[in-house]
Amino acid sequence: MDQITYEPIGVVESPFETPEAVPRPGAERVTASGTLVLEEEFEPGLEGLDGFSHLIVLSHLHEVSGVRLQVNPMGGKSVGIFATSGPPRPNPIGHSVLTLDDVSGTRLAVSHLDLIDGTPILDIKPYAPKVPAVEAVETGWMGDLAD
């Protein structure tokens, strides 16, 4: 298989200095605010983004080392890494859904931030529901945590 290479489009400014400082989903609600700072050349790509309430941010989890194919999320039963959003993945790509609070030039103020300071941003997409409807989505072992 061919090597794939991406160049970051920006960086995260976050109050979290280490991965351990970020609250874990399900354990605590992540309420932190921060800023996504894009390179100047990408400013035209932000046109129209300010009309969305939430963003999907794809990032490179640059502080993750090692891969674990089996994990015990929240101290529960063992599951495969692909059944979680946990970071010790073969390709440490982060997927965050953040609240978009403001757009000012190439600076995006966000909340519910779950990334550490200096995290490279690979892509930003507006959060827009797609089919299937949320009611039809099964969340596997994660659904048991809500019960």
Indicate the residue type of 101: D
Instruction: Please state, for a pLDDT cut of 70, what percent of the chain lies above it.
Output: 86
Reported residue count of the chain is 147
The model carries a pTM of 0.84
User: 81 exposed, middle or buried (CB, 10 Å; 0-12, 13-18, 19+)?
Assistant: middle
pLDDT band, residue 72 (cuts 50/70/90): confident
More confident residue, 53 or 25: 53
Least confident range of 22-31, 78-87, 107-116, 122-131: 22-31
pLDDT for the residue numbered 15 = 95
Q: How far apart are CA 137 and CA 78, in angstroms?
A: 22
